[in-house]
């Protein structure tokens, strides 16, 4: 089974973010890491390879620094990496990103493509679904379990209110993986050393022949303003309690 795991590089959780030009953050002098939802997709790809044999390809897009995230995937067990060189990947809308990823994936003809449910930096949660459409493949989202069965898959989807749904679909297919589906492994010293000998293919964006006019754009990024407001609730104790409960439910949304 040939599996492509899409892994995105995002700013580290503890990185001091500074807004630059109202539309993105200043990327200099901050650390980057693998998008956590994608790490679950990578882990699931590695487990499927260990169970059914095959190959795992780690695919990422962005500037040169993205290769560090690909190397992390290789150290964990991916067989080789693919890097779509795009200096301004953060300017792409989900459809534009999906088209570029699809063009690179089509060259590999994989049996399965896995992505995380969403990215931690922009959080659109749409790239995986759009990727399936661009590839013309069946897909399922919010996956909590994957059972490979011959030429197809049986997957468990998480629904609302604690409900789950089992879906069967043929291969090849695209799945977006829910965070928490598994326990993500750490890269071992042996894996880190082995990763140095594994191949990372760099693909220039221009060579993919993708033309795309953005369907959406970021107008402004800003830090939420903090305000304080005091409100006195009047009436009898019973009336005040009812009003307070209403506000906690519908305004504060803590209940």
Question: pLDDT tens digits for the chain (255 residues)?
Answer: 999 999 999 999 988 888 887 788 888 889 999 999 999 999 999 999 999 999 999 999 999 999 999 999 999 999 999 999 999 888 899 999 999 999 999 999 999 999 999 999 989 999 999 999 999 999 999 999 999 988 899 999 999 988 999 999 999 999 999 999 999 999 999 999 999 999 999 999 999 999 888 888 888 888 888 877 788 888 999 999 999 999 888 887 787
Please state, as a whole number, how many other Cβ atoms lie within 10 Å of the Cβ of residue 31: 10
Rounded Cα distance between 129 and 133, Å, is: 7
- Find tokens 């690909």 and name the residue: 70
Helix H or strand E encompassing 132:
helix 127-135
CATH superfamily label, 2-208? HUPs (3.40.50.620)
Instruction: Kindly report whether the peptide bond that precedes residue 150 is cis, defined as omega within 30 degrees of 0.
Output: no
Closest CA to 10 of 144, 129, 120, 174: 120
Please state, as a whole number, how many other Cβ atoms lie within 10 Å of the Cβ of residue 171: 16
Tens of pLDDT, residue by residue over 65-114, are: 999 999 999 999 999 999 999 998 888 999 999 999 999 999 999 999 99
**Domain limits of the chain?**
2-208
User: Which tokens is 140 given?
Assistant: 């399922």
Alpha-carbon Rg for the chain, nearest whole angstrom, is 21
Per the CB < 8 A criterion, the answer to whether 112 and 173 are in contact is: yes
Rounded Cα distance between 228 and 248, Å, is: 16
Residue 243: CA atoms inside 13 Å, Cβ hemisphere, count?
10
Which residues, including other chains, have CB under 8 Å from residue 193's CB and lie 6 or more apart?
none
Q: Is the pTM of this model over 0.75?
A: yes
Rounded Cα distance between 40 and 42, Å, is: 5
């Amino acid at each position: 089974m040939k599996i492509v795991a899409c892994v995105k590089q995002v700013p580290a959780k503890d990185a001091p973010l500074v807004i630059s030009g109202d539309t993105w953050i200043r990327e200099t002098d901050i650390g980057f890491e693998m998008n956590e939802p994608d790490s679950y997709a990578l882990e699931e790809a590695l487990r499927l390879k260990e169970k059914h044999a095959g190959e795992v390809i780690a695919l990422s897009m962005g500037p040169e620094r993205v290769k560090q995230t690909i190397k992390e995937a290789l150290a964990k067990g991916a067989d080789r990496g693919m890097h779509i060189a795009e200096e301004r990947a953060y300017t792409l809308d989900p459809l534009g990103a999906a088209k570029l990823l699809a063009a690179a994936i089509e060259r590999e003809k994989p049996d399965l493509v896995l992505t995380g449910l969403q990215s931690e930096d922009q959080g659109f949660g749409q790239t995986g679904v759009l990727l399936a459409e661009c590839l013309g493949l069946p897909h399922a989202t919010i996956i909590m379990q994957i059972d490979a069965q011959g030429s197809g898959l049986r997957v468990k989807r998480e629904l609302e209110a604690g409900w789950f749904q089992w879906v069967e679909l043929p291969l090849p297919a695209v799945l977006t993986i829910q965070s928490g589906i598994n326990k993500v492994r750490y890269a071992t010293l042996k894996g880190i050393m082995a990763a140095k000998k594994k191949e990372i293919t760099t693909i220039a964006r221009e060579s993919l022949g993708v033309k795309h006019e953005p369907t959406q754009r970021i107008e402004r990024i800003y830090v939420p303003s903090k305000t304080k407001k005091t409100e006195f609730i009047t009436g009898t104790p019973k009336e005040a309690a009812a009003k307070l409960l209403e506000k906690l439910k519908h305004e504060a949304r803590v209940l």
